[in-house]
Structure 1
Amino acid sequence: MPMSVRDLFDLTDRKALVVGAGSGLGRASAIGLADFGAAVIAADLDAAAADETAKIIAAAGNTASSMVLDVTDTAAANAAATEHPDTEILVVTPGYNVRRRLLDTTDLDFDRVIDINLKGSYRLMRAFGATMAARGKGSIITFASFRAQVIEPGQGLYAATKAGVVQLTKTMAAELGPAGVRVNAVLPGTFETPLTAQIKSDHDWWGAYEQKSILKRWAQPEEIAGAIVFLASDASSYVTGSTQLVDGGWTAADGRFEPTV
Structure 2
Amino acid sequence: MDISQFPSFRLDKKIALVTGGSKGIGLAMACALGLHGANVVIASRNVGDLKKVTEEMSRKGLSFSWIQADVTDKESVQLMIEQIIQQYGRLDILVNNAGMNIRKPLVEIEEEEWDQVLNTNLKGIFLVGQAVAKQMIKQGNGKIINISSIFGGVGMPFQTSYAASKGGINQLTKVWASELSPYNINVNAIAPAYIKTPMTGAWLQDEERYQEIVKNTMLNRIGEPEDVAGPVVFLASDAANYITGHILYVDGGWTAK
TM-score when scaled to structure 1? 0.93
1:91-130 pair list within 5 angstroms = 91-130=95-134
Q: Choose from 131, 149, 154 the match for 1:150.
A: 154
One-letter identity of the residue aligned with 1:204: E
Give CA deviations for 1:201-248 in whole Å, capped at 9, x if unaligned. Answer: 212111211222101101111110100000001010011111000000
Shift of 1:2: 5.7
The letter of the residue matching 1:116 is: T
- Asked if the contact 1:51/1:67 (under 8 Å) is kept, the reply is no
After TM superposition, give the deviation of residue 15 of structure 1 in Å.
0.5
User: Are residues 242 and 199 of structure 1, via their aligned partners in 2, closer, same or farther at CA, if it must alter by over 3 Å?
Assistant: same
Give percent identity, aligned residues only: 35
- Tell me which residue corresponds to 2:58: 58
Aligned residue pairs, count: 252
Partner of 2:180: 176
Moved over 6 A (4+): none
Which one of the candidate residues 201, 209, 219 is aligned to 1:205?
209
Amino acid corresponding to residue 109 of structure 1 in structure 2 = E
Amino acid at match of 1:221: P
Q: Give yes or no for contact 2:67–2:80 (8 Å, CA) kept in 1.
A: no
Secondary structure of the structure 2 residue equivalent to 1:207: helix
Q: Provide the aligned C-alpha RMSD in A.
A: 1.3
Partner SS state of residue 84, structure 1? helix
Looking at structure 2, the residues matched to 3 and 216 of structure 1 have their Cα atoms a distance apart, in angstroms, of 39
The match for 1:164 among 141, 147, 168 is 168
- C-alpha contact 1:230 1:236 (8 A) present in aligned 2: yes
The secondary structure found in structure 1 opposite 2:118 is helix
Whether the aligned pair in 2 keeps the contact of 1:21 and 1:53 (CA below 8 Å) is no
Q: Offset at 1:83? A: 2.0
Give the secondary-structure state (helix, strand or coil) at the position aligned to 1:25: helix
| Deviation by residue 1:107-160 (Cα, 9 ceiling, x = unmatched) | 111111110000000000000011001110100111110001101111111001
User: Which stretches in structure 2 are left out of the alignment for 5+ residues?
Assistant: none
| Equivalent position amino acid for 2:93 in 1 | I
Query: How far is 1:3 from its partner?
Result: 3.9
Say which of 235, 241, 248 aligns to 2:239.
235
Tell me what 1:73 maps to. 73
Amino acid at match of 2:48: A
